[in-house]
Chains A and B, each alone.
Chain A
Amino acid sequence: MALALQSFATVKDASAALKAAGTRYLGGGTLVLRAANEGDVSVSGLVRSTDPALSVITVSGGTIRIGASVTMAAIARHPELGQLAKAARAVGGPAIRNMATVGGNLFAPSPYGDFAVALLALDAMVSTNDGEMPMEAFLAKRGGSRAIVTSVSFTRPAQGSFRFVKVSRVKPKGVSVLSIAAILEQAGDGTISSARIALGCMADRPMRAKTAEKALLGRTLDADGIASALAAAGDGTAPITDPIASAWYRAQVLPVHLGRLLLS
């Protein structure tokens, strides 16, 4: 089914056009055109903005800002985003990574959206034409907003503090069984002073493992130190069931993979 596309030079004009019923914003196309090809009749028109600012990566001091139209491939090859390259490369195969955008990944339903999991752990701020909000708040109401995402920004993680794993059955590319991103900071004595853990596929959208985060504080990164965090890893989760894995399986293997990530 052909869908009329409207292109606008500015986000403001695109936003106005997006108010029409049945319209969807077109980023890289890997979500919305997939839906249209599948026969999603709720999509009757497409809107996009060609503003070049949407495709810019800015690294300024300790802050990284990534435009919403930046692709996963661009992130993976950016010399100053090396820590995030693994999470960007976790998204699809090479062609998908050339098309899939940061903005689009924020809306990807489980089992997709692996890069959004990384952004949640990074405590990213999401900028839209309506303002800025924390990633967690954005994810909570992402389905109901008609605002256009313009960029995400976050503090550059300290070297070695960011960890990410995508668990899949098919290598090197496969749909997620689950994904985990973590930012861990350690005090001088080696105990954990700060922990943020984000999970993918453990709900319909990326979520924090807050009980596990608290359980890590003041503990050391060894088998005994992380035991209580692993026991609490599933608190508050509602894993998805899909052809890749059942909710039961995802719940069973979450502590195993979280443990490996924390001890890696």
Chain B
Amino acid sequence: MAKVPVQFTLNGSEKAEFVESGTTLLNALRDKIGDTSPKGGCHQGTCGACSVIVDGELRLSCLTLAETCNGAAITTTSGLAEGGVLHPLQRAFLDAFATQCGFCTPGMLMAAKVLLDHTPDPSRDDVVEALSGNICRCTGYEPIIQAVLTAARANSQNAA
């Protein structure tokens, strides 16, 4: 299989790799680059566990080819914490017990981050809509929704 060069920015760091043509972004991140924060769940675009942010948009890395992301800026859950300090969303997920087995959590965090980036003061319906592509089989969703709302409130208080 032909290998193709792929360059992108991952969580602020330049990455350059050769991948087999047709490799998904999920596999490139996990197997080539070693960022295992995006999870391979259904591989069908249904569960959202593999969600990452590509150029500011939420994308499913299991259905995205790595070579189509050449030159893109990619954010994964690994890039949320800064200097050892958890992102407000991560802190809120911990405080609200919004994670149990944890498999869906990275995708949930990515979906929530895109929401708060565009809508800093979301309604509950906004949060439900933003998380509607992500499946969790443990929490029943309510703690996750509350965590996102809590993080939003913390953000707005910090900004005030």
Chain A residues in the interface with B (C-beta under 8 A): 1-5, 7, 26, 28-30, 33-34, 37-38, 46, 48, 73, 92-96, 98-99, 172-173
Contact indicator B1/A4 (Cβ below 8 Å):
yes
* Interface residue? B36 (CB, 8 A): no
Interface footprint category on B? 20 to 34
Asked whether B101 is an interface residue with its Cβ less than 8 Å from the other chain, the reply is: no
Task: Tell me the minimal C-beta distance from A25 to chain B in angstroms.
Answer: 13
Beyond the given A5-B22, A37-B44, A99-B45, please list 10 additional residue pairs across the A-B interface where CB-CB is below 8 A. Answer: A2-B1, A7-B67, A92-B133, A93-B132, A94-B114, A95-B59, A95-B60, A95-B111, A96-B60, A96-B133
Please determine whether B63 and A172 come into contact, CB atoms closer than 8 angstroms.
Answer: no
A93 and B133 form a contact (CB under 8 A): yes
Rounded to whole Å, the gap between the CB of B100 and the closest CB of chain A is 21
Given contacts A2-B1, A33-B63, A34-B45, contact A95 B51 (CB under 8 A): yes
- Find out whether the CB atom of A30 lies under 8 angstroms from the CB atom of B45: yes
Inter-subunit contact B24/A98 (CB<8 Å):
no
Distance in angstroms from A168 CB to nearest chain B CB is 11
- B63: which of A2, A73, A99 is its contact (CB, 8 Å)? A99
CB distance from B2 to the nearest CB of A (A): 6
Say whether A173 contacts B133, CB under 8 Å: yes
Q: In the assembly, what is the distance between CA of A38 and CA of B132, in Å? A: 22
Q: How far is the CB of B43 from chain A (nearest CB, A)?
A: 4
Q: Hey, which chain A residues are within 8 Å of B24, CB to CB?
A: 33, 37
Say whether B129 contacts A172, CB under 8 Å.
Answer: yes
- Residue numbers in B under 8 Å from A7 (CB-CB): 67
Tell me if B11 is interfacial: C-beta within 8 Å of chain A: no
Task: Name the one of A46, A92, A96, A99 contacting B22, with C-beta atoms under 8 angstroms.
Answer: A46
Cβ-defined contact, A94 with B130, below 8 A: yes
B48 at interface, CB cutoff 8 A: yes
**Structural contact, B1 and A29, CB atoms closer than 8 A:** no
Question: Given contacts A2-B21, A94-B111, are A29 and B129 in contact (CB under 8 A)?
Answer: no
Q: Which of A5, A7, A46, A92 has the most CB of B within 10 A?
A: A5
Interface centre among A7, A30, A34, A94 (most CB of B within 10 A): A94
A44 CB to nearest chain B CB (Å):
10
Per the bound structure, the CA–CA distance linking A33 and B67 in Å amounts to 14
Indicate if the CB atoms of A33 and B65 lie closer than 8 Å.
Answer: yes
- Cβ proximity bits B41-65 to A, threshold 8 Å, 1 near / 0 not: 0011100100100000111101111
The reply to whether A34 and B63 form a contact with Cβ atoms under 8 Å apart is: yes
* B60 A37 Cβ-Cβ under 8 A: no
Q: B57: which of A5, A26, A73, A92 is its contact (CB, 8 Å)?
A: A73
Q: In the complex, what residue of chain A is closest to B44 when comparing beta carbons? A: A34
Q: In the bound complex, how far is the Cα of B59 from the Cα of A73, in angstroms?
A: 12
Contact assessment for B133 and A94 in the assembled complex, using a CB-CB cutoff below 8 Å = yes
- Cα separation A219 to B134 with both chains bound (whole Å): 44
Give the complex CA separation of A98 and B57 in angstroms. 7
- Given A95-B133, A172-B129 in contact, is the A30-B63 Cβ separation under 8 Å? yes
Say whether B133 contacts A99, CB under 8 Å.
Answer: no
Whole-angstrom CA separation of A98 from B44 in the bound complex: 15
- With a cutoff of 8 Å between Cβ atoms, the chain B residues found around residue A98 in the complex are 57-59
B130 nearest in chain A by CB position: A94
